[in-house]
Amino acid sequence: MITGTYPSLRLRRNRKTDWSRRLTQENTLSVNDLVLPIFLVDGKNKKQSIKTMPDVFRYSIDRLPEIIDKAVSKKLPMIALFPYTKSKLKNDIGSEALNENNLVCKALRLVKKKYKNKIGIMCDVALDPYTSHGHDGLLKSDKILNDETVEVLVKQSLLQAEMGCDVISPSDMMDGRIGKIRKALDKKNFKQVQILSYAVKYASSFYGPFRDAVGSKNILKGDKKTYQMDCSNSLEALREVSLDIKEGADMVMVKPGLPYLDIIKLVKDNFKIPVFAYQVSGEYALISNAITKKIVNKQTILETLMCFKRAGANAIITYFADKITNDLR
């Protein structure tokens, strides 16, 4: 609590110079806080633009080193892989997720062979990039099957671990999947593979550009409100995180990011566990377009990222990760 009164107490004194502001700042932002998402596409010599995400691209496997070389040179600690799956490879059960030659598996083999442990690899565990209906799980009679989906997610996680994934990241929001995945990983001697759970994932309107990027937007049947969280709820987030920690999550995530800073703080204050925030595609698109139209300036990016740190996030998954490292002190 602040004691003292004006004029002997002048809070502006500590803000008078740049060096003083740097000495007294309460939170810092560095390259160590950032994770770069990367989109994959089939074919050769491809670097595809994504209409709804300015300056973000899909890379074919042979051109993947272009973006990963950049990430490594900037000393980013981790990348996250997301596939754009061809329509002909999608079906009701998302069987392509279990194909050892799918885009994610090919990328894992390349990155591990070329870069070893110079950079960490996070892989999304969910079926939505692979299903013809666009949902994260198995669909039957317009309902998402929980337990049956979890069994597939376990197989997907084991395949990714076998291919070299460092951090398994279930984003599906099925009940009980963390415990099942952890048990299966340990049984197959993948005891050192980490689990970053999308523990608090809201049914949000901010995901649109991402669904464009992975090709699921126009095929999604209905919505995801029966398994992703209601934006009205906050205490429910504590229950979700508590369960995932008990089941073996090493880290947890809150998604989306900026509209849910209160949830990041709530989770961090209640659980002393690494908390990740995902500055999702809609947030990225809004900020990027506002900068392009000179509604706001580029400093907005750093300000929003610092907001995550102030709220308690240990790390931030952001499409700005490879674009702003030169601006970090």
Tell me the per-residue pLDDT of 288-320, one tens digit each, with 9 for 90 and over: 999 999 999 999 999 999 999 999 999 999 999
Is 153 among the domain residues?
yes
Structure tokens, 123:
């892989």
Residue with tokens 């706001």: 296
Is 169 among the domain residues?
yes
Is 20 among the domain residues?
no
Residues 6 or more apart whose CB falls under 8 angstroms from that of 182 comprise: 195, 247, 248, 249
Is 4 among the domain residues?
no
Is 9 among the domain residues?
no
Q: How deeply is 230 buried, as exposed, middle or buried, from its count of CB atoms within 10 A (0-12, 13-18, 19+)?
A: exposed
The sign of the dihedral angle between the CA atoms of 268, 305, 229, 196 is negative
Catalytic residues: 201, 255
Structure tokens, 202:
């809201």
Q: Specify the CATH number for the domain of residue 305.
A: 3.20.20.70
- Look up residue 202 and give its DSSP letter: B
Is 22 among the domain residues?
no
Q: How deeply is 54 buried, as exposed, middle or buried, from its count of CB atoms within 10 A (0-12, 13-18, 19+)?
A: middle
- Which residues of the chain fall short of a pLDDT of 50? none
Looking at the 3D structure of the chain, how many domains does it have? 1
Is 7 among the domain residues?
no
Residues 6 or more apart whose CB falls under 8 angstroms from that of 40 comprise: 58, 59, 60, 61, 64, 81, 82, 83, 84, 103, 104, 107
Is 17 among the domain residues?
no
- Domain span at residue 212 reads 29-324
- How far apart are alpha carbons 80 and 87 in whole angstroms? 22
pLDDT at 329: 67
The sign of the dihedral angle between the CA atoms of 235, 240, 241, 246 is positive
